[in-house]
């Protein structure tokens, strides 16, 4: 009989940010595959009889190791095992979930996905950074500093518009590219930004900066991964000419 795959979001690190459902599903699994960013105390929820299998990879390792993980998952499902695949944050956000879901779908194995607290929202809570704000920030966007294909990186300037707060994942090494790409397209260098490093861990740190000092401050303050970068573009930061509302009866 085929096994079952449960993709489990484990939040940013602190085990008390796990959901109750995540803790239960970890305890029910007979094999647990865990990542580099999943903290050891999360593994304490596993059954003593379960096999713990580390499958960590750095994002710079490229696709090869993901192929290995996919074949390990396939092997465990074919052997009828109940697999808990632990992911940092939420599995559906920069978690290679699509590829792992495809393994289970292809085999026809049962699949369940347990959401987790994604790093940006944990960072927002830990540092009191609202990502939306009435009359100032109407939208919240999640993007990445790193893309599978260097020539097809996100069009950051198209995402960061007035009224929008953008959270950048995997962006420490890309600070200079992000800063120059945005400023070249007219985004004001004076915009407030912050790095939030090691969210959910005792050494969590916030480095406040501005768009035109992004790379400089990242270097001077030695910002290291894992870190989230927030750039907020409040409506009041724009110098938009205010056009008076048309008088009653007028049409534009």
With beta carbons less than 8 A apart as the criterion, state whether 164 and 138 touch.
yes
Nearer to ligand SAH, 63 or 75 (CB): 63
Binding mask 133-152 for ligand SAH (x = CB under 6 A): --------------------
The region that residue 205 occupies, defined by phi over 0 for left and psi between -120 and 50 for alpha, beta otherwise, is beta
> Directed axis angle between helix 64-78 and helix 97-107, to 10°?
30
To ligand SAH, the closest distance from the beta carbon of 43 in angstroms equals: 16
Give the single-character DSSP code of 96: -
Kindly tell me which residue out of 37, 43, 159, 183 binds ligand SAH, with binding defined by CB under 6 A.
Answer: 37
Of all residues in this chain, which one has the CB nearest to ligand SAH in the complex?
Answer: 89
> Rule CB under 6 A: is residue 163 a binding residue for ligand SAH?
no
Q: Provide the sign of the torsion angle of the four alpha carbons 234, 237, 239, 244, taken in this order.
A: positive
Among the candidate windows 25-33, 133-141, 195-203, 209-217, which touches ligand SAH by CB under 6 A? 195-203
Among the candidate windows 23-31, 129-137, 174-182, 222-230, which touches ligand SAH by CB under 6 A? 222-230
Active-site residue (options: 35, 90, 212, 217): 35
Helix (H/G/I), strand (E/B), else coil: 9: strand
Token pair belonging to 90: 């939420």
Give the integer Cα–Cα distance in Å for 247 and 11: 52
Interface contacts to ligand SAH, rule CB under 6 A = 12-13, 37, 87-90, 93-95, 118-119, 123, 169-170, 196, 198-200, 225-228
């Amino acid at each position: 009989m085929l096994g079952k795959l449960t993709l489990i979001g484990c939040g940013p690190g602190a085990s008390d940010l796990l959901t109750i459902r995540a803790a239960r599903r970890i305890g029910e699994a007979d094999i647990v595959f865990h990542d580099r960013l999943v903290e050891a105390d999360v593994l304490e929820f596993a059954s003593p009889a379960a096999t713990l299998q580390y499958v960590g990879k750095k994002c710079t390792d490229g696709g090869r190791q993901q192929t290995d993980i996919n074949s390990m998952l396939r092997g465990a499902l074919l052997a009828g095992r109940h697999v808990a695949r632990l992911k940092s944050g939420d599995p559906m956000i920069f978690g290679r979930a699509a590829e792992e879901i495809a393994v289970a779908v292809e085999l026809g194995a049962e699949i369940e996905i347990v959401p987790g607290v994604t790093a940006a929202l944990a960072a927002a809570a830990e540092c009191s950074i609202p990502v939306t704000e009435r009359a100032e920030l109407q939208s919240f966007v999640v993007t990445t500093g790193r893309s599978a294909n260097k020539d097809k990186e996100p069009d950051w300037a198209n995402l960061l518009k007035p009224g929008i707060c953008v959270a950048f994942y995997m962006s420490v090494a890309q600070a200079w590219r992000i800063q120059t790409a945005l400023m070249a397209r007219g985004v004001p260098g004076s915009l407030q930004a912050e790095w939030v490093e090691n969210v959910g861990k005792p050494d969590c740190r916030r480095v406040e900066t501005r768009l035109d000092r992004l790379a400089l401050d990242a270097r001077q303050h030695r910002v290291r991964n894992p870190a989230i970068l927030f750039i907020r573009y409040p409506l009041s930061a724009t110098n938009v000419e205010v056009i008076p509302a048309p008088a009653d009866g007028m049409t534009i």
